[in-house]
Structure 1
Amino acid sequence: MRTINSETYLAKKTTVIKNLNTKEDFKVTDKELKKDLRSIRKDLGDLQDVFYAHDKYSVLICLQGMDTSGKDSLIREVFKDFNVSGVKVHSFKVPTDLERSHNYLWRHYIALPAKGTFGVFNRTHYENVLVTRVHPEYIMGEHIPGIHSVEDINQEFWDRRFRQINDFEKNLAENGTIMFKFFLNLSKEEQRQRLLRRLAIKEKHWKFSPGDLKERKLWESYQACYEEAILKTSKEHAPWYIIPADNKKGARVIVASILLQELKKYKDVVEPALDSKIMANLEDYENQLNNEK
């Protein structure tokens, strides 16, 4: 099995996204990567059971990336061996009227995982400093006091949002949420190839939208927004990991490995011990069951 050091992918203060590799060369076959993933996700599934029994931490996994970066398939493959009652996936689309009637973090608050469980955000609260930054006109639908036109949405506005997001995540960490934030770093050329596959394969037509091509023209703007968001919000309690995403199977192995490696560091997470009175009578309980007719 590949040895992966989570720190290799940890965002740093000097991170420049365009200088990072978008494809990790493990020098192994896809079959070997799939085998690695099967082993890691089994261990993750076993660890999930312990977190559930321990019931003091929740785990939040945030996935961000450009269209076609592989978020959906990563979720499907990495969490395949989880008990479905212990993990919930939330895919955040365009805000509804109800969601827009609250502050932008509200819909994320109500989707947070309970203690003992895992939550996966497919697109996250960071859309509010990514999509809305590339398209600031979307902010007008939030009816924010003091924002009367797009011209009112300045750097001070975005810095305030970064502070709010940092405060939100710090509050979660201080109350027992372990957070992982993954940026699936896809190359523009690989995105082009994946969009072409959606057009070429009938079964994938439903995934294609002409809007994908419009957003693709804004690639550089999105990359700049991602970089600033990552640099301003990657904290020890809520780190960003930048994952090479051109190879989907490799990306899945990296994400799963980071989760397993980091969660194992929580040595206080153990199965609760049985009550002493129950322990003292285990033999009797066993005898009762064995003597049933």
Structure 2
Amino acid sequence: MPKSHKLPEQKQVALSDIDPKDTGRFHNKEEVMQEIKELEQELQALQEKLVASKEHAVLFIFQGMDCSGKDGVIKKVFAGLHPQGISAHSFKTPSEEEARHDFLWRAHRAVPALGQIAVFNRSYYEEVLITRVHGKVTDEQAKKRFKHINHFERMLSDSGVKVVKIFLHISKEFQLEKLISRIEDTSKNWKFDPSDLKERKAWNQYSELYEELFEKCSKAAPWYAVPSDNRWYRNYAVLRIAVDVLRSLDLKEPPANPELQPLLMKLKTEEA
């Protein structure tokens, strides 16, 4: 069986123990291509059941270091889904209005309704990550936010929203290669942000903060850590997680509506 990449709940996890180059039992992309096609078809079928039943919603949260491929994996994994049943949200620096509200406000507004899927590129977790690295939130304030996050995710779960949190794990060497390529390849210059170099200097601090989140914020929704140095494996692993999660909801097609039978007979009669 493929690795689930699910992290133990409320346990200490060291990112150094997880190989960002790991590809499980596979050696190359060709070995997973057929399974990827089958999983993509199943994900589409599961989405249709999700929309039809309107009993659950699914929120996928992607976190990771700069260059970990959050945009890329969202594009690859969810591209085949019906656009009316999925939304994507990118959480950057809060706007003036967002900053005047509580730290969960802007994320809560984007939570999917029952029958829908939402994908977050970064999330409310930035409010206990980059804010601490930049000294805008103290460790004591962050601990209070951990409690709010756990309560928030529990409330979502109780409301039928399945929260799936995926950390895309890359090596520092891989990040450097990507940063260099964004400068060397002029067609990718638009992807380069000088602030990424500043954030890179805080790599170790970010790693420690993520490890804390994996332990402290996993009560209502566990974390997954997906090795992401190999893009093809990253995409495959996230696709598997997405399918497994929707499978676990045991989605059922809504029962037939008996009131429609007389209408059906009438329409057939008119056609004849």
TM over 0.5: yes
Q: CA deviation at 1:184?
A: 0.5
TM-superposed deviation, 1:288: 4.2
CA contact (8 A) 1:61 1:119 kept: yes
Q: Given the alignment of the two structures, is residue 186 of structure 1 paired with residue 183 of structure 2, yes or no?
A: no
| Cα distance per residue 1:63-109 (max 9 Å; x no partner) | 00001001111000100110000000000110000000111110001
Q: Is residue 217 of structure 1 aligned with residue 201 of structure 2?
A: yes
One-letter amino acid of the counterpart of residue 61, structure 2 = C
> Matched residue of 2:89: which SS?
strand
- CA shift for structure 1 position 283: 5.3
Tell me the residue number matched to 1:245. 228
Identity %: 37
In the alignment, does 2:95 pair up with 1:111?
no
| Distance apart, 1:10 and its partner CA | 2.6
Number of equivalenced pairs: 270
Q: Which residue of 1 aligns with 2:52?
A: 53
Offset at residue 179 of structure 1 (A):
0.9
Which whole-Å CA distance do the structure 2 matches of 1:80 and 1:39 have between them?
15
AA aligned to 1:14 is Q
Please tell me whether the aligned partners of residues 67 and 191 of structure 1 are also in contact (alpha carbons under 8 angstroms). yes
Give the TM-score, by structure 2 length.
0.93
Structure 1 residues 10-89: aligned runs within 5 Å: 10-12=7-9, 13-25=11-23, 26-89=25-88
One-letter amino acid of the counterpart of residue 254, structure 1: A
**Match among 249, 253, 258 for residue 276 of structure 1:** 258
**What code does the residue aligned with 2:130 have?**
V
SS of 1:264 mapped into structure 2: helix
2:256 is the alignment partner of 1:259: no
Q: Which has the larger radius of gyration?
A: 1
2:28 and 2:80 map into 1 onto residues whose CA distance is 23
Equivalent residue number for residue 153 of structure 2: 169
Give the C-alpha shift of residue 285 in structure 1. Answer: 3.9
The letter of the residue matching 1:157 is Q
Cα displacement (A) at 1:9: 3.0
- Counterpart of 2:109 in structure 1: which amino acid? I
CA contact (8 A) 1:16 1:227 kept: yes
For residue 248 of structure 2, give the secondary structure of its aligned residue in structure 1.
coil
Question: 2:101 is aligned with what amino acid?
Answer: H
Are residue 159 (structure 1) and residue 143 (structure 2) matched?
A: yes
**Contact 2:39–2:240 under 8 Å retained in 1:** yes
Cα distance in structure 2, aligned partners of 1:15 and 1:64: 16
Distance 2:113 2:151 in 1: 19
| Equivalent-residue separation in structure 1 for 2:74 and 2:253 (angstroms) | 26
Contact kept in structure 1, 2:12 and 2:214, CA below 8 Å: no
Cα shift at 1:156: 2.5
Give the partner amino acid of 1:10.
Answer: L
Tell me: CA distance 1:262–1:5, structure 2 relative to 1, closer, same or farther (3 Å). farther
Counterparts in 2 of 1:287 and 1:23: CA distance versus 1, 3 Å: farther
- Report the equivalent of 1:149: none
Secondary structure, aligned partner of 2:259: helix
- 2: CA distance, partners of 1:17 / 1:286: 63
* Backbone CA RMSD of aligned residues: 1.7
Find the aligned partners of 2:148 and 2:132 in 1 and give their Cα distance.
Answer: 15
Cα offset, 1:248, TM superposition: 1.2
- What is the Cα deviation at residue 34 of structure 1? 4.0
Partner of 2:212: 228
Whole-angstrom CA distance in 1 between matches of 2:147 and 2:12: 20
In 1, the alpha carbon distance for the partners of 2:166 and 2:270 equals: 51
CA offset digits 1:179-212 (Å, max 9, x no partner): 1000011110111111111112111110012211
Distance between the aligned counterparts of 1:10 and 1:38, measured in 2? 26
Aligned 8 A contact 2:6 2:222 in 1 = no
Ranges in structure 1 where 5+ consecutive residues have no aligned partner: 140-152
Please state how far the C-alpha of 1:21 moved relative to its aligned partner.
1.1
* Alignment correspondent of 1:91: 90
1:133–1:72 distance in 2 versus 1, CA, 3 Å: same
